[in-house]
Amino acid sequence: MDLVKELGALAFASRLRRLSDHLKSEVSCIYHSCGIDFDDNWFMIGYVLAHNGGMTVSEISRRTGLSRPSISALIDGMAEHGLVNIRTDPRDLRSRRLSLTPEGEETVAALEPVWQAVGDCTKELLAAVGSDCLEAIDRLEDQLETRSLFSRVCERLFEVQDHGGRHAARID
């Protein structure tokens, strides 16, 4: 029995994480099979730098929606592999400006056809499902922007508490 499936909406985030981990693992195998030494976790950074040139961590964060601490950890790994240059931004000495190294540009050039194939095959998988999963995710993200899950759960817990019902957690 698959507990994550069995729990349904309660384990929604866990199910998305499991799906993400599965897909990322497969993409990593594809990279390895193509002889490309690239961690799939670096995809967003490599892609955005290849298509936008040098950027600061804050600019990458705004463009990708990734947190600045996450980006910093990812670029440190990329820098260790010689894929990214990290320089102090002359306009703001507190900021780091990132760009692909020549090796990073070469790696991304090798990855572009792989990324195209992954995108095409993912589109085929999504089409085979028979519903627009990406549109549903867009709507879900919009709903969470409008009102967070935290806010919704707090309201539900206080609603139960106000009606004399039992509540499982205390929100401070």
pLDDT tens-digit profile of 128-156? 988 788 898 999 999 999 999 999 999 99
Same-domain pairing of 98 and 148? no
pLDDT of residue 115: 97
89 shares its domain with 170:
no
Tell me if 85 sits within 8 A of 101, measured CB to CB.
yes
* pLDDT of the residue at 53: 85
Q: Are residues 171 and 161 in the same domain?
A: yes
CATH number at residue 64: 1.10.10.10
Going by pLDDT thresholds of 50, 70 and 90, the confidence category of residue 159 is confident
Structurally, the chain folds into a number of domains equal to: 2
Global pTM value? 0.80
Residue 152's domain comprises: 131-172
Query: Do residues 121 and 164 both lie within one domain?
Result: no
More confident residue, 15 or 92: 15
Q: What is the pLDDT of residue 84?
A: 97
Whether 68 and 124 map to the same domain: the answer is yes
Residues with Cβ within 8 Å of 54's Cβ and at least 6 positions away in sequence, in order, are 97, 98, 99
Neighbours of 52 (CB within 10 A): 12
